[in-house]
Structure 1
Amino acid sequence: MSMTRDEIMARVAAAYSRAQVSIDGADCNFSIAIVADEFSGLRPVQRQQAVLKLFTDVLATGELHAMTVSAKTPDEVANELNADNHGLTAIRG
């Protein structure tokens, strides 16, 4: 059985309640972009590790085969994209 976007969103929302998230993909291969304050002070690899840790169990079983992660802070996105949301969905806690 493969994960759904809703299942991925639920895990992310539980860990990053005020994040903005975009999820692309299907079956067991997804790309996820997360913008969250919690990433401040973390190196890019630490951010990816934090997100992938949410999916350790399903990566181990093959329910989720691959996930590409882009994890940024709101300030980084504002600087890069001039505060345009580019399809991200806000999670309100």
Structure 2
Amino acid sequence: QGSVETLTWTLNSCKSFTVRSFYRELVAGEGVSDFPWQIVWCSKAPVRAAFFYWEVAWEAILIAETLQRRGFRLASRCCMCKVDVESVNHLLIHCAVARE
């Protein structure tokens, strides 16, 4: 009795919990920690754009390719140009309609 217990977060130098230190520990060893996240989250880009970049890096954009991997049955053609398979690379780089 009379003693005060203190919790200390050991995953950063300031010894206090941060989402960043928790996230780094969570993804350690999964290959994504090598991604230059500071470019995404510390940029002057709007948060909406940073979140989109984050989704691209995690391959989490809801496109035909991703949805098919999750078990959905749907056409794999690009919904914009109807020519190639709808993938992140196609939509962001190769799709003629998206580039217009």
Q: Same fold (TM over 0.5)?
A: no
Hey, which of these two has a bigger chunk of strand by percent? 1
TM-score (norm 2): 0.28
Structure scoring higher RCO (CA < 8 A, sep ≥ 6) equals: 1
